[in-house]
Amino acid sequence: MKVAFIKTDLLNGLNIVSKAVASRSTSSILECVLIDAKDQEVTLTANDTTLGIETKLMAHVIEPGQIAIEARLFTEIIRKLPNSQIVLELNDSQVNITCENANFKIPYVSPEEFTSLPEIDKENYIKVSQFTLKEVIRQTIFALSINDTNPLMTGELFEVFEDQLKIIALDGHRIAIRTIMLGETYPYQKVIVPGKILNEVSKILTGEHERYVTIYFSQNHICFEFDETVVVSRLIEGEYFRIEQMLSADYITSIEANKQDLLSAIERSTLLVKESDKKPLIFTIQDQKMNLLMNSSRGTMQEDIEVVQLGDDIQIAFNPRFLIEALKAIDDERITIYTINSKAPCFIKDKDENYIYLILPVNFN
């Protein structure tokens, strides 16, 4: 095998597939990237058996071939080389990496040991713009649990119903729901996708409106195809939580406020809270005003915000971080918060329920 690359193309490809390289494994092949050169095109593949990524790039293939190389070492070598042509050439038990006056010789692994990406049934799929998928992941991913005690809380529910895709994330204290319209009508699908996979997919997406992602659903896997890249992941098994009974339309009080004013005030209140503290932010809603109160060992902060209040006066407290993350995920200039009492969940949602953020209150004195 002998291939000549443009450095930026090779490095970009390695950065994409490196997200599927095992960091520590009993099998060294899982720490490798597979390089397959043929027909003036090179395919890079990494697969840690849970996540697999494949991407294609243009190159000058002088002699076709296939090898596996330790991914992190190879990527670091390429990153440090000059911005010039890089030639990769197989030489007995080593690979020569040449760029201008620099030359590296590193060992490689037989490609026969490499685990290929699983074959995915491509009968069931949806198409969505890269911009929309990237945004909907951003607007929900923060509500997932970082504790894998309950694996279901580390994954997002993807539910396809006719021309809609609903994505749900929750961690036991809050729920984030986003519903987007699809360009076509599709068969019903319901799968749980690992959050860490969605996070990696989001990093690779360009986020352009005109570029699309095709998402394929199979019994055990989900596959994202876009540009010259394929991402395959195992699904999380299990029955997702029944949250319908929590999404009651009943409320006693609704508060409409300027989103940025509210977000800024909440962020100011957190200046008095250490990371280790769990101090609630107390809201008192009465007479068309929302009063925010933060009382901690570092001081006290109060601020009033003008709101449009419908219904009873109420006093309720929340973890300020949960509110900040929900508000940052909303693009609307004005938001509406619905409450029942100081112990029941509050909802932040729009009239068409394109987004719903449910947040549980906390106790306060």
pLDDT in tens, 195-220: 999 999 999 999 999 999 999 999 99
- Distance, CA of 191 to CA of 219 (rounded, Å): 9
User: What ranges do the domains of the chain cover?
Assistant: 2-113, 124-244, 247-359
Q: Report phi then psi at 263, rounded to 5.
A: -60, -45
C-alpha separations of 335 from 100, 139, 180, 327 in Å: 58, 15, 19, 9
- Distance, CA of 114 to CA of 224 (rounded, Å): 21
- Distance, CA of 41 to CA of 228 (rounded, Å): 11
Check if 2-113 and 247-359 are the same fold. Answer: yes
Return the half-sphere exposure (C-beta side, CA atoms, 13 A cut-off) of residue 157: 22
Neighbours of 29 (CB within 10 A): 18
Q: Report phi then psi at 252, rounded to 5.
A: -105, -35
Of the candidates 145, 132, 74, 126, which has an alpha carbon nearest to the alpha carbon of residue 105? 74
Kindly state which CATH superfamily the domain 247-359 is placed in: DNA Polymerase III, subunit A, domain 2 (3.10.150.10)
Per-residue pLDDT of the chain (365 residues; tens, 9 = 90+): 999 999 999 999 999 999 999 887 778 899 999 999 999 899 999 999 899 999 999 999 999 999 999 999 999 999 999 999 999 999 888 999 999 999 999 999 989 989 889 999 899 999 999 999 999 999 999 999 988 789 999 999 999 999 999 999 999 999 999 999 999 999 999 999 999 999 999 999 999 999 999 999 999 999 999 999 999 999 999 999 999 888 877 899 999 999 999 999 999 999 998 877 788 999 999 999 999 999 988 899 999 999 999 999 999 999 999 999 999 999 999 999 999 999 999 999 999 999 999 999 999 87
pLDDT at residue 220 in the model: 94
pLDDT at residue 341 in the model: 94
pLDDT at residue 276 in the model: 73
- Distance, CA of 98 to CA of 10 (rounded, Å): 13
pLDDT in tens, 95-139: 999 999 999 999 999 899 898 899 998 999 999 999 999 999 999
pLDDT at residue 212 in the model: 96
End-to-end CA distance of the chain: 71
Q: Which of left, alpha, beta for 274 (phi over 0: left; psi -120 to 50: alpha)?
A: beta
pLDDT at residue 24 in the model: 75
Q: Which of left, alpha, beta for 172 (phi over 0: left; psi -120 to 50: alpha)?
A: left
Sequence letter at residue 251: Y
Neighbours of 308 (CB within 10 A): 11
Note whether 163 and 186 are within 8 A (CB).
yes
pLDDT in tens, 229-256: 999 999 999 999 999 888 877 899 999 9
3-state helix, strand, coil in the chain (%, to 5): 25, 45, 30
Q: What is the CATH number of domain 2-113?
A: 3.10.150.10
Paired residues of 143 in beta bridges: none
Note whether 65 and 77 are within 8 A (CB).
no
Domain 124-244 has CATH 1.20.1250.20: no
pLDDT in tens, 49-58: 899 999 999 9
- Distance, CA of 189 to CA of 152 (rounded, Å): 17
Supply the DSSP string of 268-300, one letter for each residue: HHGGG--TT--PPEEEEEETTEEEEEEEETTEE
pLDDT at residue 71 in the model: 96
pLDDT at residue 32 in the model: 94
Q: Which helix (H) or strand (E) segment is 72 a member of? A: helix 71-80
Q: Is 355 exposed, middle or buried (0-12, 13-18, 19+ CB in 10 A)?
A: buried
